[in-house]
């Protein structure tokens, strides 16, 4: 059978048998239609980069529903009779851009740009679904499934909220026209699409078993064709694949989207019927209608709870039955649909065949073993609010798009109208242990009891503790936390429902969950008109093409028919050696072309061929040659005809191991606990302890010690590690997502034992880097080049998110054991810091001496007389750690700031005063800090927070101050060649340089510089792709310095050109136009091309100063928080491009929030396997995790006397300021501990400080749960 659909108005007819049965819409769009605005990343609906809009006809109403969808989850064969819209269909440079695209670009909502099309399409789907009538609140709610690692979300949300009916966002004049916002453009012609283009003829691939029933009878006919014992799935949105990967054994797919019986719904007086195949979004719309009717008021809470399930595109396509079916197949799944429906005693209508149905409870359905049951509908009873009380809860590790730590639903039936005596109760909890749902002991206890009597409450929690016995679950929060949290939810239920006069006033705020208002921000900076376009707040050069999807990334390059795709074969036994690799089964799998391993490498088996920044310069093997050093270390590479085949075939290679390691250390904490036995893993790097002696103890001195532990952080680039290699006449043409072309080129050449000049790289842009692509991407690049070289055909290697997280290095974990001696006023007499940093399996990119130690003094008067340091690198059984945004410096500043905060705590002083007394004489911070304290009203707000805390037992607020001196070491930079060319035909200018545009705005800044120096309009300047010809031998783009270094080179080149042009200008006179000058120079054979380079010594080292003040509010019962306000003042000198620099500050700070609050890497202690290896269980901040009030100021009238054009770098430093949220946490937690009657003790908080950390630190015990 063929399926028919349109894409951007163009009709297609596809023979389903010609494609793999599980081919996704994402694959079809990208690889067959070459619509690459729809990105490839997580393949589980967790990042949002693949979002498109699907318009589908409702089988009952015949109306067209338009909704955003994750193309990575949507199966192509489920797209019959739909209209698909991608970013290419909205607007482009030929015919003009869509208002969403324009506003996102104009409001600086794009940096690396990889996520931008997904944000555009999600917003387009929201507007179209609601006919353009959305509120700012709805907009902020809508982006839980879109991750941006660059911007910090604020400018993105501003752009999107500008479309809201209640918007207060100022919009540039050129973006005001929103007419024809939903008119499609043909990606072929760039004009309004009529849908008349011819259909594409598509090649056959393999057979499939798909069915598209239109009735219940046809559905059961399809089921009858599935042989007994064979796997099948009923397909609607396929969103379950984002949680549990579908078994490859499934060959029978039955699309149920067009079966009317499964889409029905009705609301009667006593019950509401919801068709099984209603999407969660459908259900939520019905809840909105039903909540207005007597007996269904509880649907308002169902809407709130469902709004926390997954994200908008997933809810748009995932169905009620799909969710419950996932719970049936995977009992451990913490289904929110199940827990709320079970609390409400929802009944399930199931079909055994088309003419026979029965009704059963949810629990009975989960245990029913009848084969080929089909859920027809869910029946919800009427619960009049006069007689019933319902509420439900879901507690998450971040604001949205996370499965629950614990979820719960509570239904109380009252005996009488006083709403005190319980007739019956249903108390349901999720994620406690397999099989546990009802707290039956408590349900029975409550019958006939006064729910709000303290004696009853006491007995309830005593019994609840007995009933709730969570078990240890992999990659989940601890049983202790989950038990406390479950109890806290029922306590919150009581506080929120009891008559207020029965509740102690300070307890009342504990009855509600934290409510986040609409966020906003302010940006303050100066511009200098005489330097324009330098210092002007201009739009990013690539902004519009990124927002329209026209900007190309490595995996967007067009494929040829003979391209092979690559995937690593990896090791699963740490410490063992490889005895044999048997690839026969893989090579026999259809579509597999080849397998290569160590023996196939003709040259160096080393992907990190540099000693410039890697001391001692250990070999990092492309494929393991001896002892396996970490779980998932690559052993070889599979080449296949498509990506999915390569990834699967890699698992078929049989590995025989020998000589296992007895004990595995995936983190340094276990090594430090046994350091006397594991001395070989400790490598001393720096120490001055022998040179510094402890002072004598004087009267009034205070002593203290503490430990700060900072766990590693994954970079989470939206663009995967990607390389494309094409054999050419005399070597290889390489497109690689790298921050350091020179080392990538050298590593490939030495591996293949060929000349470097036969390996040519080209890099247009990189979709996020943060250090992950300095050297770590070279392993992929080398493997891909080996395949292309051996097969003499194009090769493409795009790592999956699991592969990246498992075998790529991450931020250095850090532990500080510190001690201090201070005067009563907080002045430091001695500070000792014995710190350790987790190097992973090599010391190659150690930060201990190079980056951490120089930053430890921060802004304080720490000298050789009062500051002891000892730094040690620790070797662990994990991938070699690498640079990650503000590497070493972030840890150093966190260590010292924590010590200062601890001193203030011990001395019982205001933390700001302790910082003031310890500032280094003459340091710039001595002027900045008093000003900052005044402008943020620090003293007043601290008093107000202390008052709030005294009045609220279960809600607490905190204020955290952080100071930063970020030392920028430019002396490591060697060269950044740059070429500037002027075209005589029209005077336009092009730049080619050796830096890499990674979202930091490098291209925009250097274009501004060229325009300023040459005196031409910015729009006349273009920046070309970076390559290893014009950019030969260029140094890495990292350390926040490349924009300045390349800018220096570009300025040199422009000055040289100006010198050449000066005689021509004099001869033509002052009235001569730029075009006339350039044309005359050309006729005089004056070269209009100049190449220059940054060289060591062109730029002096300098420091970047910054301050942050973070205010947050904690829910002590759950551990959740809201960041109420953040103020940041950063010294950027005279900013080259203020809008870009503000974006860098915001993005770095929010990445720091993830580091300190939400991002947790967990390993299997027995095997060394990373358990949190995908978006499902690793959680960078989302759009609703950022500060509610986000205020950024770039310090004005503060030129950098040694900086390029008096500017300073901004890419990394602000991440260091995010540590202030830990001090705000400490402030809030200490108040809770005081209320709990705990002794006054410093609480160890580190990275990440999760809700679990908060609850277990505050002294919560159920004995304190009273009304």
Q: Which residues are marked as active site?
A: 1212
Exposure of 466 by Cβ count < 10 A (0-12 exposed, 13-18 middle, 19+ buried)? exposed
Q: Which two structure tokens, joined as six digits, stand for 1133?
A: 């000198």
Conformation bin of residue 702: beta by default, left when phi > 0, alpha when psi is -120 to 50: beta
Q: Apex CA 33: angle with CA 647 and CA 542, to 5°?
A: 90
Integer-rounded Cα Rg, in Å, for the chain is 31
Residues forming beta bridges with residue 956, ordered by sequence position: 1114
Q: Say if residues 250 and 233 touch (Cβ distance below 8 Å).
A: yes
148 marked as part of a ligand binding site? yes
Sheet with 867-875, edge to edge strand ranges: 682-687, 867-875, 828-840, 814-822, 702-710
User: What distance lies between CA 1194 and its chain's CA centroid?
Assistant: 26
885 marked as part of a ligand binding site? yes
Exposure of 32 by Cβ count < 10 A (0-12 exposed, 13-18 middle, 19+ buried)? middle
394 marked as part of a ligand binding site? yes
Calculate the alpha carbon distances from 73 to 239, 408, 556, 1160 in Å.
6, 28, 19, 25
Backbone angles phi, psi at 1131, to 5 degrees: -85, 100
**Is residue 220 helix, strand or coil?**
helix
Euclidean distance between CA atoms 1188 and 1192, whole angstroms: 13
428 marked as part of a ligand binding site? no
Residues forming beta bridges with residue 735, ordered by sequence position: 724, 762
Euclidean distance between CA atoms 1007 and 543, whole angstroms: 14
Give me the residue label for tokens 């006064």.
450
Among 913, 1046, 904, 1050, which residue's Cα sits nearest to residue 990? 1050
Backbone angles phi, psi at 700, to 5 degrees: 90, -15
Exposure of 107 by Cβ count < 10 A (0-12 exposed, 13-18 middle, 19+ buried)? buried
**Is residue 411 helix, strand or coil?**
strand
Q: Say if residues 1147 and 1002 touch (Cβ distance below 8 Å).
A: no
Conformation bin of residue 251: beta by default, left when phi > 0, alpha when psi is -120 to 50: alpha
**Is residue 25 helix, strand or coil?**
helix
**Is residue 614 helix, strand or coil?**
coil
112 marked as part of a ligand binding site? yes
**Is residue 1061 helix, strand or coil?**
helix
CB under 8 Å to 969, separation ≥6 — which residues? 851, 854, 1039, 1101
50 marked as part of a ligand binding site? yes
Q: Which two structure tokens, joined as six digits, stand for 775?
A: 């050297």
**Is residue 1022 helix, strand or coil?**
strand
**Is residue 778 helix, strand or coil?**
helix
150 marked as part of a ligand binding site? yes
- Binding site for [2Fe-2S] cluster: which residues? 42, 47, 50, 72, 112, 115, 148, 150
- Binding site: which residues? 42, 47, 50, 72, 112, 115, 148, 150, 394, 739, 885
- Binding site for FAD: which residues? 394
- Binding site for Mo-molybdopterin: which residues? 739, 885
């Amino acid at each position: 059978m063929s399926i028919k659909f349109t894409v951007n108005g163009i009709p297609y007819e596809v023979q389903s048998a010609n494609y793999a049965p599980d081919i996704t819409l994402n694959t079809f769009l990208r690889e067959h239609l070459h619509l690459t605005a729809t990105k490839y990343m997580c393949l589980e609906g967790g990042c949002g980069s693949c979002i498109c809009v699907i318009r589908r006809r409702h089988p009952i109403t015949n109306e067209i529903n338009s909704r955003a969808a994750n193309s990575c989850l949507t199966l192509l064969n489920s797209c019959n009779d739909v209209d698909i819209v991608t970013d290419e269909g909205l607007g482009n440079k030929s015919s003009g851009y869509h208002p969403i695209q324009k506003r996102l670009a104009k409001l600086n909502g794009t940096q690396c740009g990889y996520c931008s099309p997904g944000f555009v399409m999600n917003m387009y789907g929201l507007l179209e679904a609601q006919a353009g009538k959305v509120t700012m609140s709805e907009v902020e709610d809508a982006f839980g499934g879109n991750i941006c690692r660059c911007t910090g979300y604020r400018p993105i949300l501003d752009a999107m909220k500008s479309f809201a009916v209640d918007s207060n966002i100022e919009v540039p004049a050129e973006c005001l026209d929103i007419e024809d916002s939903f008119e499609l453009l043909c990606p072929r012609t760039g004009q309004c699409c009529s849908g008349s283009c011819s259909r594409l003829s598509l090649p056959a691939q393999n057979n499939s078993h798909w069915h598209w029933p239109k009735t219940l009878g046809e559905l059961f006919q399809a089921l009858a064709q599935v042989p007994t014992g064979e796997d099948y799935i009923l397909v609607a949105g396929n969103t379950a694949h984002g949680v549990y990967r579908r078994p490859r054994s499934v060959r029978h797919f039955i699309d149920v989207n067009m079966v009317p019986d499964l889409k029905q719904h009705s609301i009667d007086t006593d019950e509401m019927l919801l068709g099984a195949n209603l999407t969660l979004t459908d259900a939520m719309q019905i809840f909105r209608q039903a909540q207005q009717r007597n007996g269904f008021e509880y649907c308002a809470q169902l809407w709130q709870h469902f709004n926390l399930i997954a994200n908008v595109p997933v809810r748009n396509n995932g169905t009620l039955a799909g969710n419950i079916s996932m719970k049936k197949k995977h009992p451990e799944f913490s289904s929110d649909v199940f827990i709320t429906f079970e609390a409400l005693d929802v009944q399930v209508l199931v079909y055994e065949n088309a003419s026979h149905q029965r009704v059963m409870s949810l629990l009975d359905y989960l245990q029913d073993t009848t084969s080929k049951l089909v859920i027809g509908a869910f029946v919800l009873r009427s619960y009049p609010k006069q007689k019933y009380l319902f509420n439900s809860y879901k507690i998450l590790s971040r604001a949205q798009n996370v499965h629950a730590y614990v979820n719960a639903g509570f239904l109380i039936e009252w005996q009488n109208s006083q709403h005190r005596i319980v007739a019956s109760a249903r108390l349901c909890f999720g994620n406690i242990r397999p099989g546990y749902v009802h707290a039956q002991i408590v349900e029975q206890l409550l019958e006939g009891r006064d729910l709000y009597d303290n004696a009853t409450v006491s007995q309830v929690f005593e019994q609840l503790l007995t009933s709730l016995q969570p078990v240890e679950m992999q990659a989940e929060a601890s049983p202790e936390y989950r038990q406390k949290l479950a109890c806290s939810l029922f306590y919150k239920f009581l506080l929120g429902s009891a008559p207020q006069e029965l509740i102690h006033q300070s307890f009342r705020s504990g009855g509600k969950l934290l409510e986040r208002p609409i966020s906003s921000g302010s940006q303050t900076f100066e511009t200098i008109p005489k330097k324009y376009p330098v210092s002007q707040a201009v739009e990013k050069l690539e902004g519009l093409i990124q927002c329209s999807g026209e900007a190309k990334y490595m995996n967007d390059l067009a494929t040829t028919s003979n391209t092979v795709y690559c995937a690593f074969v990896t090791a699963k036994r740490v410490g063992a050696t490889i005895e044999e690799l048997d690839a026969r089964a893989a090579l026999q799998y259809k579509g597999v072309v080849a397998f290569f391993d160590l023996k196939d490498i003709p040259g160096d088996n080393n992907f990190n061929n540099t000693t410039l920044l890697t001391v001692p310069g250990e070999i990092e093997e492309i494929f393991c040659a001896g002892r396996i050093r970490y779980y998932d270390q690559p052993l070889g590479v599979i080449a296949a005809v498509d990506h999915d085949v390569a990834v699967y075939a890699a698992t078929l290679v049989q590995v025989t191991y020998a000589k296992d390691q007895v004990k595995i250390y995936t983190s340094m904490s276990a090594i430090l606990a046994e350091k006397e036995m594991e001395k070989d893993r400790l490598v001393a790097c720096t120490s001055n302890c022998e040179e510094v002696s402890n002072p004598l103890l004087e009267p009034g001195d205070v002593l203290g010690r503490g430990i700060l532990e900072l766990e590693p952080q994954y970079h989470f680039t939206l663009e995967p590690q990607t390389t494309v290699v094409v054999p050419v006449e005399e070597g290889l043409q390489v497109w690689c997502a790298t921050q350091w072309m020179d080392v990538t080129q050298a590593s490939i050449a030495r591996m293949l034992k060929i000349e470097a000049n036969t390996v040519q790289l080209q890099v247009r842009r990189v979709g996020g880097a943060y250090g992950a692509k300095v050297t770590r991407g070279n392993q992929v690049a080398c493997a891909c080049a080996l395949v292309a070289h051996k097969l003499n055909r194009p090769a493409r290697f795009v790592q999956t998110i699991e592969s990246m997280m498992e075998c790529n290095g991450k931020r250095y974990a850090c532990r500080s054991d510190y001690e201090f001696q201070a005067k009563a006023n907080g002045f430091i007499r001695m500070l000792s810091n014995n710190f350790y940093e987790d190097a992973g399996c090599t010391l190659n990119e150690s930060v201990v001496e190079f980056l951490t130690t120089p930053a430890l003094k921060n802004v304080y008067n720490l000298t050789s007389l009062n500051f002891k340091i000892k730094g040690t690198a620790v070797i662990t059984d994990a991938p070699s750690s690498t640079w990650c945004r503000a590497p070493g410096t972030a840890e150093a500043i966190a260590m010292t700031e924590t010590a200062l905060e601890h001193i203030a705590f011990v001395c019982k002083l205001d933390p700001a005063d302790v910082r003031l007394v310890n500032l280094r004489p003459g340091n710039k911070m001595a002027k900045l800090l008093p000003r900052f304290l005044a402008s943020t009203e620090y003293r007043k707000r601290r008093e107000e927070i202390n008052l709030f805390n005294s009045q609220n037992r279960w809600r607490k607020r905190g204020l955290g101050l952080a100071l930063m001196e970020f030392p920028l070491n430019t002396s490591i930079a060697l060269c950044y060649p740059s070429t500037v060319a002027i075209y005589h035909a029209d005077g336009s200018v092009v730049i080619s340089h050796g830096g890499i545009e990674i979202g930091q705005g490098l291209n925009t800044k250097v274009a501004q510089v060229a325009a300023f120096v040459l005196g031409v309009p910015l729009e006349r300047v273009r920046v070309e792709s970076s390559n290893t010809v014009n950019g030969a031998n260029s140094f890495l783009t990292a350390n926040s310095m490349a924009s300045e270094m390349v800018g220096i080179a570009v300025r040199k080149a422009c000055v040289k050109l100006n010198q050449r042009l000066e005689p021509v200008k004099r001869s033509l006179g002052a009235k001569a136009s730029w075009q006339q000058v350039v044309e005359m120079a050309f006729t005089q054979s004056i070269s209009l091309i100049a190449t220059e380079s940054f060289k060591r010594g062109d730029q002096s080292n300098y420091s970047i100063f910054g301050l942050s003040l973070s205010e947050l509010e904690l829910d002590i019962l759950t551990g959740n928080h809201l960041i109420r306000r953040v103020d940041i003042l950063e010294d950027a000198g005279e900013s080259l491009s203020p809008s870009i620099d503000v974006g860098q500050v915001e993005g770095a700070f929010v990445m720091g929030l993830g580091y300190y609050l939400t991002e947790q890497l967990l390993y299997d202690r027995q095997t060394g396997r990373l358990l949190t290896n995908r978006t499902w269980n690793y959680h960078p901040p989302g759009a609703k995790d950022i500060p509610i009030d986000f205020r950024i100021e770039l310090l004005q009238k503060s030129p950098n006397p040694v900086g390029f054009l008096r500017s300073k770098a901004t890419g990394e430093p602000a991440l260091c300021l995010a540590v202030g949220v830990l001090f705000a946490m400490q402030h809030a937690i200490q108040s809770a501990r005081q209320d709990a009657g705990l002794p006054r003790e410093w609480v160890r908080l580190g990275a990440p400080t999760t809700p679990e950390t908060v609850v277990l630190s505050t002294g919560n015990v159920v004995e304190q749960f009273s009304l």
